[in-house]
Amino acid sequence: MASSLRDISMSIEYRLWQIMCQGGWMIDNDYCDLVPDVRADAPPNSFCLSFDMGGPDPVEGGGYPWVFWDANAINTNHDNQTIYYNGQVANTSNYSIDFLNGRVSFTTPIQGTITGDINYFPFHLMEGYPHRTTATIIMDRSLPIIAFTVNGMGGPACDLRSAACDYRIPLSIYIMAQNDGWRKDVCDSLVKGLRRMPYFDISSCWMLTAAGDSNLNFNAALQLNNYLRVGRDPEARLTPPMVNASSKQEYQATVNVEYRIAM
């Protein structure tokens, strides 16, 4: 099976979102107000859940990613979100959704009231920590944060019983939570869910577009290559608070797992 670190990395991101969705880590916020999105990267005519732009934490889910899964958490669509314009369901052809940044953008200027039935993830998921500086993460993201790093591809590792040679793929997941209970519960969900890791061919498309909208061309069943084999079982470690650290670093944990792939 041909392998690509990019395919592996994006497959891991897919699985992490899926684990959290299937574990019920979502909040349904019905008929809530959407306010103009004044974030610097927001496209024109964009709206999001309200939150304090100057504060450290969101209000009513503002800034958190919106749920993009279908009913089975396999492919992506808009089913978990309903947008209303002046109390009427808005035509889906008149807007796009940036799920990762939690906003809806209309194709033309809007005059009126925008509301929505919004299902969102109450956490941020990203790739790259700790290679991104902790200060940057603390500045531009509210808690909780789940970040993952694929620590390269090592090997080969040879199974003497079968003479098969695999490459090792070590994965580290970092959790920054707002309390000890959330930290431990997420560790439980990840340790259980990471024993199954799909491996997709994303050369044609991924589950989300470059703009963060659902990608209807993505087909998990057709793009599934195989499943990575677990070389070392997932293990969670709770991190003691660091001296003189930010309050956002008080409840941290790391989950490590190693996968194997035949080359």
- What is the pLDDT, as a whole number, of residue 250? 86
- What is the pLDDT, as a whole number, of residue 43? 95
**Top CATH class, 5-22+123-262:** alpha beta
Q: By the 8 A CB rule, do 125 and 147 touch?
A: yes
Sites in the chain below the pLDDT cut of 70: 1-3, 51-62, 129-140, 154-165, 263
CA distance 62 to 182: 19
The model's pTM is 0.89
- What is the pLDDT, as a whole number, of residue 65? 94
- For the chain, residues classed under CATH 3.30.2000.10 are 5-22+123-262
How far is CA 242 from each of CA 42, 48, 154, 246, 252, rounded to the nearest angstrom? 35, 34, 31, 8, 10
- What is the pLDDT, as a whole number, of residue 54? 40
- What is the pLDDT, as a whole number, of residue 89? 97
Instruction: Find the helix or strand (DSSP H, E) in which 23 lies.
Output: none
- What is the pLDDT, as a whole number, of residue 129? 66
Q: By the 8 A CB rule, do 90 and 84 touch?
A: yes
Those residues with Cβ within 8 angstroms of residue 168's Cβ, 6 or more apart along the chain or in another chain = 153, 154, 155, 157, 231, 258, 259, 260
- What is the pLDDT, as a whole number, of residue 52? 45
- What is the pLDDT, as a whole number, of residue 112? 92
- What is the pLDDT, as a whole number, of residue 4? 82
